[in-house]
Chains A and B, each alone.
Chain A
Amino acid sequence: MGSIPPGGAWKLLSGVRAGQTQVDHPQLDDVAYWSHPIDIHFATKGLQGWPKLHVQVWHQDAFGRSELYGYGFCHVPSSPGFHLLECVTWRPLGSWQEELSQLFVGGGPQLLNSDLIYTGADRYRLQTQAMGVVHLQLGVLLRNFDRYGVAC
């Protein structure tokens, strides 16, 4: 699951801001392949609020229950061209009782407000655990930035 939070000067022209990938069942290695296309078109009047990608990784167990596996975000590169991005993810840690119950029955702490993933105002108070890397391949096309003196 991922979304692109709205930014100050940026306006969405086409594409969807948020979406959900398919559920991949990794059979080889510990890699899940989603191959989820992202196609989004922005217009901007300024540089504030450069778009960022924010991802939430969810895990579906054998019973079909979904639980959170990680949050992460990364900025859309500011230079044009093809980029391989690595978006590290993390998961909030609960108390040891919660962790234990998570081990057996699943579930676990989740953020109440997903803004926290990228705003970072209160994030430092969280105790987290690293949860793997989401690989993104992004092709960025920029237009008319040089006209306004932005070197990309």
Chain B
Amino acid sequence: MYRTDFLLGEQQRSINDSHQNLVDLNEESLLLDDIRDVLLPDLFDMKPPEYESSDLQIKKQWEQVFVPSDSPVIHSCKLPKDMIPRILEDEGFHIPRKPEVSRKSCNKMENRLLQEGGKCWFAESGEIIALPSPIKQTRNFRKLFPIKTIREKRQLGCCFPVLCCQGELYQLSLNISTLLFSYHPLFNREHVLASRLLQLYECFQNRQQQNVTHLLSEKLEALLNATKVAESNLETSQLRRNTLENYRLQIRDTSKLYDAEQQKDISLIQNMLKVWKQIKSLRRQQEFTTDQINHQFVYLELIKFFFNLVCFRHEQKRRAKVQRQKYFIKIFYNEKQVSCTSETPLQLDFKVIIQQIFSIQVLNWPESLRIEIFESTKRTKLLTKVCLPIPNNFILKSKDVLEQAEFSCEHQVKPSDGTVGSNVPFLPDENEIGELWLLTSGRLMYSLSWAVNDRGIPLAPVFQPINATYHSVLRDVASGIATGIVWCTDVEKLIEWAKEVNIDPNDPEYSDLIELIKYARFKEQNVPKYFRLEQLQEEFNFVTEEEIKKSKRFQLLQLRNLGQLDFCHYQQIPLYDREIPDTLFQEYENQLEKEILMTDVDPITAQRISSANFMRKLVMIHLVKTKHKFNLSDIVSDYEEIISMSQLRNAVFKVGERRRHLKPQRKERRKVPAQTVSDGDVKLLVRILRAYNIPSRKSVTVHPFVEVSFQHTGYQTSIAEGSHPCWNEELQVDFTSPGHDYSFSGLSKIKDNVYINIFDEFVIEKHEDTCPKGCSGHSYIRKNWLGSVSFPFSALLEQSKICGTFQVNMPPVFLGYTWSKTYMSPQEEYCGPNLKEYTFLTIFATIEPQLSSVESDLESDKVDETLLQRAYIFKKDCKALFPRRRIITSVFNNEGRNILVTKYISALNPPEILLDKYPGDLNTTFDIISQFVSLIPCISDTLDENDDIDIWMTSEHCISLATGNKEEHAVLLCNYLLYFGKKAWVLLGTSVLEGKVAYVLTQENGYYFLWNPLNGQRYKQFDTFCPLQRVDCLINWENVWFNTQQNNSPMCVSFDISKEGFWKQLLPYNFQHTKAQTVQPKEILYSPTDENMVEELQSRLEKALKSKVMEWRSRQPTRWHRQCTAVLRQILPKLELSNGNVVMDKEEKELESLQERYWVTGYPIQMPYIDLQSISEAVYQTDIHSSEVPNTEFALAVHIHPYPNNILSVWIYLVSLVCQQ
């Protein structure tokens, strides 16, 4: 309420205010009315609105606007007053066609320009300037230029020969002798007249030489005579009359000419006289004569005036000026300044004596030689340019005649001090009316010629006279060849183009082109038919291609890029070439060219090497295909998957877990991608658990210990006691990959084996008294090798762990050891007959950390054949069922063709020799055959991770090359066994020790046997110590079976292939294919091995091994026991024949006899022959050489038993003897 009241009050107040205002306004308006009456007529004026009619407006506008008419303009209006239009075309300049403009618009433009006063737009010809002026006004500046000038002493008429080192260099010599001014701005009147006189006189002389008047008078006389004769013979015929008429006409003409010539002569003479008079009067007037003006006149004898009287002041001034005037000359060669003369003063008779000789050594073709004459009083001023003609190449130095070059200059010089100036109107005589425009002019006396060198050979460019007309084109072509720009290669096109464009042949811009076309037409054959793609490249190269190729660093980088840098282990490529040894490349080349036989390598070794290379190449072909394929897990490292439920469970139940298990289980570890590890990260863990049934010494108990060696480093367990020791020790074996390449493929290339050797420690008491008792050094320790288990590193990499009890490889003969009587079997349930004579070792080996392998799912090549397609599908299905199991359905042969594996299997004949050995005993024959197969050297594929690309060679190849991989061995053995009518299959599976293997399965009387083709061993199906772990696939000539049984260890597998639930087959039963489809030959032909070669190899091996042993024992002397060696040599052949089973009596006894005097240790080793290195490696592993006992003697024997096709069985018997005292 209160609020509204207040508002109302406000309103009322404002209303009151406005009332008051109204009252005020009314008062004011009364006042205004009075004022209007009085004042307004003065201030305002009423006017009608301004309007202009549109016509008027247009008219006005038209006054402003200028419309040029299109009528033609008179020439005189366009040019400055009193100027005759200069038409350049008439003067000989080339004027190109003008752009077309219609005459009308042109006229309009001209009219407009005239109106605007733009006279500068008109050319001298009176046309609008539409083209660039053909008269070029260029300035030249000094530029470095490959021309040498040699300034010589002032000499006239001769020149010093200039040394010229190259035949290509030409030399011009230019002799600039004098500059004569025929007119000079500093002339005085007398000089002008004198020079005119001289000119007239010269003209007169010329006429006299021509003697036209005389000739004409003679002619006139002759004609007159002729007419006289004609008139005298008045027998006028029509003809005569005509000739007479003709004569008269001629006489008339000739007399007219004669009169005119005579008139000229007379006027000339009169002119001369007049000028002479003028000079005379002038002299009289001046009262002095300018010195040394020589006048020669026909009528007047030589007059010389020699007045050196008092001259007027201005004449003195003029003379001083003349003396101040200096001139110098610049020489331009091909538009480039070459040299210039020194400044020379002007003499009073207006001569400049320069007298300089320039020798110009010329590299480029002479185009032009130009001389610029400069005047230098206070500032230099260009007087004029003179072009000198290039002399012909036959104009040589010997010529002394000076040539003249005339010049003139248009500079305006105002007359002063009695001089006449130049380019200004000049009145030669007061009483004469004729006005003269005199220009500075003169003559240059010079001589130009090609130089001659001191042997008299002209230094001039030589060209054939035929080409003389085309010399400038030649120059172009020559320069083109020199620089590589052959722009004129396609001359035909060029000519065509020229025709099309319709080039004006007179256009100086195209003169080169026209000449070129002419030249090309003239000499079409000589134009090169090629063009260069990268022109000028060679000119700009820093180095040559060879230098880059030679650089060792670059070579290494390229090799590294190709992935062939295995042979040297550089982390970084050295920065400088000097840091890279040359031997590196030799090594590489050696690797490449192993095929090239060294002089001391026998043919057998050579064959081995070449076949190894052959295989390597085969593998390389496919290696390239599969190189760059990675899985996600290879690239992304943090992608961690939970491997199994057990991990999860472990994680959950960790809290409630028992501290110590009684029988701890091995846990699964995380897989680490191989790329992420580096040096020192990877270790091999080998746990040696225990050994069974180690042979014991005859008298004392054995002290066995185990040594694990890998990559030439050994690790040793502690020494246990007895025949059944238990070590339970873990050995950490350091591992470095060569080349620091830890990718899986790089690791799988490592061919090193892990050797686990069992040794017996043998302590011999020292008998010397030099050592006090109680000292540790009172006995010698010797280790005796008892046997070894070895497996390749790649097997460990593949399976990530190797675990189990393995039979130890032992030499067939032990000296000084017997089998222990306390036999203990590693597995109680097994009771075999032979086991007493085998030693077993339980180990566990693994790689820490576990490296994940590349499991690539390759898409194999498209298979078009239905059978192969079926095989491919079958394989895919099988892989889907059991991804870990191996299956091979198709392989590549050595030609790279995809072939079904069944075609590889067919019965083949083994060598005859093997069959003849034990004709009755089949089982022994089989053993021999498997032994034979195992003697073929085995090449392990580096591509173990890729089953998909296997290359199998046929058995024939395998035999002839004497090499093969695991599968080829199995195929060969299977084929041999089939020959005997056995039921045999090739079995693909996994072995504990060897990784992926191929065995041969045979069936006999319901029993199944497994053959290892690599060492010739035969196992029963239920043999516990058979290293075969998994059975994946069976192959024979009919079909391929894939194991679909849950448990695939050989002991649990049922080999009854007829059961489809157990074995999935590739081809249905009813599928029949003929045997003819096999890729194998029907029969293999064997060639016997050369006995001599074998013997040679044998002795070589023995020598090499002996030297090796001595090398290993470099600290101690090595003595060889001859008697023992002889015994060994006798034993060895029998070992091979006996096949290790039969115990020899006689030789054994001989050894026994030795044993009475010596402690004898040593064993025979048998192996296939691959190369020397592998043999020495095997010997090294036995460690016999490392005996430290003094007076140890050694005996070594090598025997090679030859089988057909250079397949050799090598026996090595190494014995160490210690004298018993």
Contact = CB atoms under 8 A, between A and B. Distances in A.
A8 B558 contact: no
A43 B551 CA distance: 10
Contact of B554 (A13, A46, A47, A150): A13
Interface stretch (B200-208, B230-238, B538-546, B1021-1029): B538-546
B542 A148 contact: yes
Given A43-B551, A45-B547, A14 B540 contact: no
A45 B551 CA distance: 12
Interface string A10-39: 010111000000000000000000000000
Given A8-B534, A46-B537, A41 B542 contact: no
B557 interface: yes
Interface residues of B, number: 16
A44 B540 CA distance: 12
Interface string B16-47: 00000000000000000000000000000000
B542 A13 contact: no
A48 B554 contact: no
B557 A13 contact: yes
Contacts of A15: 561
A11 B548 contact: yes
A48 B534 CA distance: 9
A48 to B, nearest CB: 6
A48 B560 CA distance: 26
Contact of B540 (A11, A13, A47): A47
Interface string B543-580: 11101100100100110110000000000000000000
A8 B534 CA distance: 7
Given A45-B547, A46-B537, A14 B542 contact: no
Contact of A46 (B542, B557, B558): B542
B558 A14 contact: yes
B542 A45 contact: yes
Residue among A8, A9, A44, A47 with the most chain B CB within 10 A? A9
A48 B543 CA distance: 13
B554 A45 contact: no
Given A8-B534, A8-B537, A9-B537, A45 B544 contact: yes
B537 A43 contact: no
A13 B561 CA distance: 7
Nearest to A145: B542
Nearest to B534: A8
A8 B544 CA distance: 13
A41 B551 CA distance: 14
Contact of B541 (A13, A41, A46): A46
B543 A45 contact: yes
B768 to A, nearest CB: 64
Contacts of B560: 14
A11 B534 CA distance: 15
Which one of B541, B542, B558 has the highest number of Cβ atoms from chain A below 10 Å of its Cβ?
Answer: B542
Contacts of B548: 11, 43, 45
Contacts of B540: 9, 46-48
Nearest to B548: A43
Contacts of B542: 44-46, 148, 150
Nearest to B558: A13
A14 B547 contact: no
A148 B544 CA distance: 13
Given A48-B534, A48-B537, A43 B561 contact: no
A23 to B, nearest CB: 14
A20 B628 CA distance: 13
A45 B541 contact: yes
Contacts of A148: 542-543
Interface in B508-551: 534, 537, 540-545, 547-548, 551
Given A15-B561, A48-B534, A43 B554 contact: yes
A14 B544 contact: no
Nearest to A147: B542
A10 to B, nearest CB: 10
A115 B37 CA distance: 95
Nearest to B542: A148
A14 B547 CA distance: 18
Interface in A135-149: 148
Contacts of B554: 13, 43
A48 B541 CA distance: 9
Nearest to A47: B540
Contacts of A41: 557, 561
Contacts of A8: 534, 537
Contacts of B544: 45
A113 B1139 CA distance: 72
B545 A45 contact: yes
A135 B542 CA distance: 32
A34 to B, nearest CB: 14
B330 to A, nearest CB: 34
16 contacts: A9-B537, A9-B541, A13-B558, A41-B561, A43-B554, A44-B542, A45-B542, A45-B543, A45-B544, A45-B545, A45-B547, A46-B541, A46-B542, A47-B540, A48-B534, A48-B540
Pick the 7 closest A-B CB pairs, nearest first.
A14-B561, A148-B542, A46-B541, A13-B557, A45-B543, A45-B541, A46-B540
Given A11-B548, A148-B543, 5 more contacts: A8-B537, A43-B554, A45-B545, A48-B537, A48-B540
